[in-house]
A and B are shown apart, each in its own frame.
Chain A
């Protein structure tokens, strides 16, 4: 039985929500994000974040500012926009409903 694929798909599904949650806690740089998500065992590699962040930024949910870095090239620090906050609130609600619904399936 291949559980790996199901796990990957599940993580992929909630990745967007998780990124928004981490960014909400404070400005975040790509490697900050990846570290937080790796710790939570949601993400394995950083690469996946680049298309996602670009997409969220293009959709107007995230914005970034440049910050000079002593450890290499300037970094992009991401923050939530107001519409990003709204999106997160909606997704949070949906997530809770989802978790409840899934749990309810095994209880009944």
Chain B
């Protein structure tokens, strides 16, 4: 059993074997290329098609209804090679090429196409590889490496994907490889393609193993057809999922790049609670949360339309006309694209709100005439520690070296976003400086957001208690809010660093050149040259 393809030629309908169709299609393409600049092109083409129809018609009789490769070849012999069709051409002159150089070299001019068939994703690397005569793996690795550089690789790939046309026709595939577009090469290429498909199909059968083949026979032809249909649907589906996935990643990449460009890193994830809250903690406050559903919904809708159509088409063999198919496909892609565009818009708006940073500073003089302090961290509870259902996650912002936990009760965002430092004071009174940072689209709102950040700092008789959690209104969103406490210690003053400070002392300059674990639980003395470990006794 062979598959046939119906074609119209000179007003008549013909059934062609698949290979016969491929051959005649490539032939007519080459003839068109050859004649396209001649006067009376349309008329000539009609005449040629009529003549082909006549030749095919003559070969048919009641016992033979299908045109095979044999009839096609003999018709082509009668009409001649595409090169013979142009009046003032030299023999073997390449078609579709006006450059003199390519005539003398015998190689046609190379054009950049995407290698759709041999590509992993969109065939961009394959196409570039063909163009520069390098192994495509080089470009794949390059894109992958660039992907980790704030997603630049993805964006570049995405742009190239859209910008470079795919090599669809045989002539384009040849142009991609820089081979001359003449009938021999087209024929060769089509035949190679047919061989490849055949090999792939047979490989598939072998892989499925005899048992499966046996089963397929047992289940009968109908089931076999459905299985085959499912296989085709699945492979189409995988490509489309890959496509949409890449679109999504592209959008995320753009958003990340924008945020990255403005010199601010934000990283967040939800550990429990709902994703919507996580999303709302970063979404610009004037954006309705519905935009999240709109962006996600259109993306998913596009995917669903495609899946349903594919299942109908391949599994249930629904009759979908090419026009309707293109329409459905168009709607699906459009829907997905709308989703992506909204995501990009959200990303850009969010990124821009990190553009401008502002600081808000408060200073507290410690007037008690103490010659030594105890500095300690008071561990404060986050909303989710009281109610595990509250949304919480991890985030890293601004100057913070480590990521901290965040949590929200819907009114306020709580975040472990503090840093600690100890410096020499130029005055003789110790003081605590509190520097609050926040970002926004402009300096005024950034300052406003900084001023709304609340922190905890308690001064007791001989001790300073810093709260490890800051909080700010939910509508301020995560905009890089963080607080840096700096203890300014006059020369001669001592401070005891409590065990609770472990994890906050990794970057405090000291003469011993030690950090965290070796600093806590000890007295430290501020000298002229800096902070020094004090091993003497304390009165």
Contacts and interface: CB of A to CB of B under 8 A. Distances in A.
Interface of A: 5, 8, 12, 30-31, 34, 44-48, 50-55, 57-58, 69, 71-76
B78 A45 contact: yes
B78 A46 contact: yes
B58 A47 contact: no
A71 B40 contact: no
11 contacts: A30-B51, A31-B54, A34-B78, A45-B79, A47-B84, A48-B85, A50-B44, A52-B87, A54-B38, A74-B50, A75-B50
A82 B294 CA distance: 74
A54 B40 contact: yes
Given A72-B53, A73-B11, A73-B12, A47 B85 contact: yes
Q: Taking chain A's interface residues, is the majority helix, strand, or loop, or is none over half, making it mixed? A: helix
Interface of B: 10-12, 31, 35, 38-40, 43-44, 47-48, 50-51, 53-54, 56-58, 77-82, 84-87, 91
A8 B91 contact: yes
A8 B12 CA distance: 35
Nearest to B11: A73
A71 B47 CA distance: 15
B53 A73 contact: yes
Contacts of B12: 72-73
A51 B34 CA distance: 11
Contact of B85 (A8, A51, A71, A74): A51
- Nearest 9 CB-CB pairings of A with B: A45-B80, A47-B80, A72-B54, A73-B10, A72-B57, A54-B40, A47-B84, A47-B85, A73-B50
Q: Taking chain B's interface residues, is the majority helix, strand, or loop, or is none over half, making it mixed? A: helix
Most chain A CB inside 10 Å of its own CB: which residue of B10, B38, B50: B50
A30 B48 CA distance: 10
A54 B39 contact: yes
A45 B84 contact: yes
B114 to A, nearest CB: 33
B87 A55 contact: yes
A52 B85 CA distance: 9
B76 to A, nearest CB: 9
A77 to B, nearest CB: 12
Contacts of B86: 51
A55 B40 contact: yes
Contacts of A53: 47
Given A51-B87, A52-B87, A75-B54, 11 more contacts: A34-B78, A47-B82, A48-B80, A50-B44, A51-B86, A55-B87, A58-B39, A72-B12, A72-B56, A73-B53, A76-B47
Contact of B50 (A48, A58, A72): A72
Contacts of B87: 12, 48, 51-52, 55
A103 B106 CA distance: 38
Contacts of B84: 44-45, 47-48
B90 to A, nearest CB: 8
A78 B499 CA distance: 107
A57 B40 CA distance: 10
Most chain B CB inside 10 Å of its own CB: which residue of A46, A69, A71, A76: A46
Contact of A46 (B50, B56, B80): B80
B39 A46 contact: no
Contacts of A34: 78
A82 B12 CA distance: 35
B474 to A, nearest CB: 76
Given A54-B44, A72-B58, A76-B47, A47 B39 contact: no
Contacts of B50: 72-75
A46 B82 CA distance: 11
A73 B40 contact: no
A20 B85 CA distance: 19
Contacts of A55: 39-40, 87
A51 B44 contact: yes
A44 B40 contact: no
A46 B79 CA distance: 5
Nearest to A44: B80
B48 A50 contact: yes
B258 to A, nearest CB: 57
A108 to B, nearest CB: 33
Contacts of B57: 71-72
A69 B43 CA distance: 19
